[in-house]
Amino acid sequence: MNDSLDNGKKRNARKEKATEKVLATKKKTAKKKAGPYPAPVPIPAAGASGEPPPARQTPTGAREEEQVPPSSLPHLLPLSILSLGAGVQSSAVLLMSCRGILPRLDAAIFADTQDEPAEVYENLQFLIAEAARHGIPVHVRTAGNIANDLQRSRLRQEEYSKVENGRWASIPFYTRDAATGHIGMLKRQCTKEYKIEVVLHFLRREILGLRRYQHAPKEHCIDHWYGMSADETNRVRISRHKWESNVYPLCGLPTDMLPKPMARWDCEDWLAEHYPGRKFPRSACRVCPYRSPSEWRHLKENCPDDWAKAVEMDRQIRQLGGMRGQTYLHPSCQPLDQADLRDLDDRRGQLSLFRLECSGVCGV
């Protein structure tokens, strides 16, 4: 009896020893493959001229896995990085940081779709120069030209696999079914592909210094600032990454940085007071189907070159591969240069009472 117990203990000891040896071998092999963690890439200061750095091509769809970090960075972290859209709210956040009204930013990142209106790029140049004067670099990165990518998506379904880099349209165009006349909308993927993934790639590769597939930190490394205002709290999100914390200064989330939350119109008033005579446009691609009638009118009346390119793109997307009907930029499913660009109240022949209502809550 005692002999059998002793034999059992010996077998268990051998198994444990063998298991420890296997684990040690795997750990040693994994360490050899991974190599030492690289140091984080320092954020270069912008040039005195304020010229933007060249937009780097960022591969989209790259597999970026959540894993474990170098823990040699605590003295540098967390860094405050702003996602800059060069529109009203994000411009206000960057300029408030420059003036010391908000905490100092370490950098800003502009994800360029290469299809923004000219007034947005003009404003971006101003912001880069202004931020450079205060030592805040603004980086420009891109996943490619969204308008050119649309050309590759204008393929019949049977031709799709035969074309190099062929892809489906990622913009939510309006569609009209040829048989029923029903109007629908395509799935939106453009924000993810041309904005979110570009910024994520920049943060992981250039700020944290991680290689592809390399473990991401579990420590809090980056305060990721966004320009969502207090009237857009439905767009507020909690980061799914342990190394990143989303910060919304205009909403006072997660902590108050301003005396009170600021809505879009508050940002417009602040910009008009501190930068009189300068226009801060809405940041949106020329071919964005989410433009309101007033925004399409603004493009037509004030940006004729951008309007002409939007009209031409609207003609080119009429037949997209795999679609049962035609596709359009305007929700009426009419050619853009023939669509009714009046607001609903303009069509009825009266002014919008909501636009004149000073408190902004009538009809809510």
Q: Among residues 142, 145, 169, which one has the least CA distance to residue 155? A: 169
User: pLDDT grade, residue 262 (50/70/90)?
Assistant: very high
Q: Give the phi and the psi of residue 56 in degrees, each rounded to 5.
A: -85, 145
Mean pLDDT along residues 55-61: 50
The three-point CA angle 350-352-358 to 5° equals: 140
Task: Determine, yes or no, domain membership for 42.
Answer: no
Mean pLDDT of 37-66: 42
Query: Residue 280 — very low, low, confident or very high, per pLDDT cuts 50/70/90?
Result: very high
In a domain, 182, yes or no: no
Cβ neighbours, 10 Å, residue 329: 24
> Does residue 250 lie within any of the structural domains?
yes
Distance (Å, rounded) from C-alpha 237 to C-alpha 240? 9
What is the three-class DSSP state of 66?
A: coil
Average pLDDT in the 121-131 region?
Answer: 96
Residue among 207, 241, 176 at smallest CA distance from 41: 207
Q: Which residue has the higher pLDDT, 127 or 19?
A: 127
Q: 16 is written with which tokens?
A: 């444990």
Q: Does residue 183 form part of some domain?
A: no
* Tokens standing for residue 155: 């393929």
Count CB neighbours of 209 within 10 A. 16
CB 280 within 8 A of CB 322: no
Q: Distance between CA atoms of 168 and 156, rounded to whole angstroms?
A: 10
How many CB atoms sit inside 10 A of residue 55's CB? 17
Q: What is the mean pLDDT of residues 110-136?
A: 95
Using an 8 Å Cβ cutoff, are 296 and 334 in contact? no
| Terminal CA-CA length for the chain | 84
Residue type at 129? A
Range with the lowest mean pLDDT among 48-62, 109-123, 134-148, 265-279? Answer: 48-62
Count of domains in the chain? 1
What contacts 324, CB < 8 A, 6 or more positions away? 175, 177, 178, 179
Give the relative orientation of helices 293-302 and 304-316 as an angle to the nearest 10 degrees.
Answer: 120
Residue 2 lies in a domain: no
Dmax (CA) for the chain in angstroms is 102
Judge whether 325 lies within some domain.
Answer: no
Report the range out of 91-105, 183-197, 282-296 with the highest average pLDDT.
Answer: 91-105
Residue type, 364: V
Strand-pair category, 138-142 with 107-112: parallel
Residue 193 tokens, joined: 């592909």
When the pLDDT of each residue in the chain is averaged and rounded to a whole number, the result is 77
The whole-angstrom separation of Cα 196 and Cα 330 is 25
| Span 166-221, pLDDT tens digits | 555 578 889 888 788 888 888 888 888 899 999 999 999 999 999 888 988 888 99
* 113 occurs within a structural domain: yes
Q: Which domain holds residue 104?
A: 56-148+189-285
Q: Which of 77, 78, 86, 133 shows the shortest CA–CA distance to 108?
A: 86
How far CA 183 is from CA of 46, 326, 330, 332, 334, in Å, comes to: 47, 10, 11, 8, 11
Within 8 A by CB and 6+ apart from 81, the residues are 105, 106, 107, 108, 109, 203, 207, 222, 223, 224, 225
The answer to whether residue 343 sits within a structural domain is: no
pLDDT reported for residue 263: 94
Residue 106 sits in a domain of what CATH number? Answer: 3.40.50
List the alpha helices (DSSP H) in 76-233: 88-98, 118-133, 146-153, 190-191, 197-201
For strands 79-83 and 138-142, give the pairing.
Answer: unpaired
* pTM of the model as a whole: 0.73
Residue 202 burial (10 A CB sphere; 0-12, 13-18, 19+): buried
